[in-house]
C-alpha cells in the first residue's frame, strides 16, 4: 500500500483562517501606530511654530499670520514639509494660535496657542 504525502483540506482551511486572523491583528496595530506617529508629527510642528511665533513677536511686536506654508517657513524661519509629501496643512493666526489640519481619513485638527504650555488640543483655534 502506497502512503500519500500532503495536507488535507481541513488542515489547509485551518491554516488560512489562522493566517487571516494574524493579518487582521497586524493591520489594526499598524493603523494605530501610524495615527499615533502622524499626531506626534503635528504636535512637534505646532510646538516648533509656537516657539517661532514667540521669536517673531519679540522682533516685530505682532504675531505672524498666514496659511501659505512656504511663507510660514520663510518668515518664521522653520521647516515644515511642503508639497506632496506633507501630512498636515498648517495655519498661523495673528492671535498667536497655530493649527494643524489633516483632511485625509480620518480628518483631524489640532491647535496650540502661545499661552498654552501643554500639548495641542483637538479642534479649531479659539
- pLDDT of residue 2 exceeding 80: no
How does strand 121-122 pair with strand 97-102? unpaired
* 63/103: higher pLDDT: 63
Residue 110 dihedral angles phi and psi, to the nearest 5°: -125, 145
Report the pLDDT value the prediction gives residue 7, as an integer from 0 to 100: 81
Task: Determine how many CB atoms are found less than 10 A away from the CB of residue 63.
Answer: 17
- Dihedral, 27, 33, 34, 35 alpha carbons, nearest 10: 110
State how far the Cα of 46 lies from the Cα of 23, in Å rounded to an integer. Answer: 35
All domains of the chain, ordered by start, with CATH? 11-122 (3.30.700)
CA dihedral 74, 78, 84, 85 (to 10 degrees): 160
Residue range 21-77, pLDDT digits in tens: 999 999 989 988 998 999 999 999 999 999 999 999 999 999 999 999 999 999 999
CA distances from 67 to 19, 28, 71, 105 (A): 47, 34, 8, 21
Amino acid at each position: 500500500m502506497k502512503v500519500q504525502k500532503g495536507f488535507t483540506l481541513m488542515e489547509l482551511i485551518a491554516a488560512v483562517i489562522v493566517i487571516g486572523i494574524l493579518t487582521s491583528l497586524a493591520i489594526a496595530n499598524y493603523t494605530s501606530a501610524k495615527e499615533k506617529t502622524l499626531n506626534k508629527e503635528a504636535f512637534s510642528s505646532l510646538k516648533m511654530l509656537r516657539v517661532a511665533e514667540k521669536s517673531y513677536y519679540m522682533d516685530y511686536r505682532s504675531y505672524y499670520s498666514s496659511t501659505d506654508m512656504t511663507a510660514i517657513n520663510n518668515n518664521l524661519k522653520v521647516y515644515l514639509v511642503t508639497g506632496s509629501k506633507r501630512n498636515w496643512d498648517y495655519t498661523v493666526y495673528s492671535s498667536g494660535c497655530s493649527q494643524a489640519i489633516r483632511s485625509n481619513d480620518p480628518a483631524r485638527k489640532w491647535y496650540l496657542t502661545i499661552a498654552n504650555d501643554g500639548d495641542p488640543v483637538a479642534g479649531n483655534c479659539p
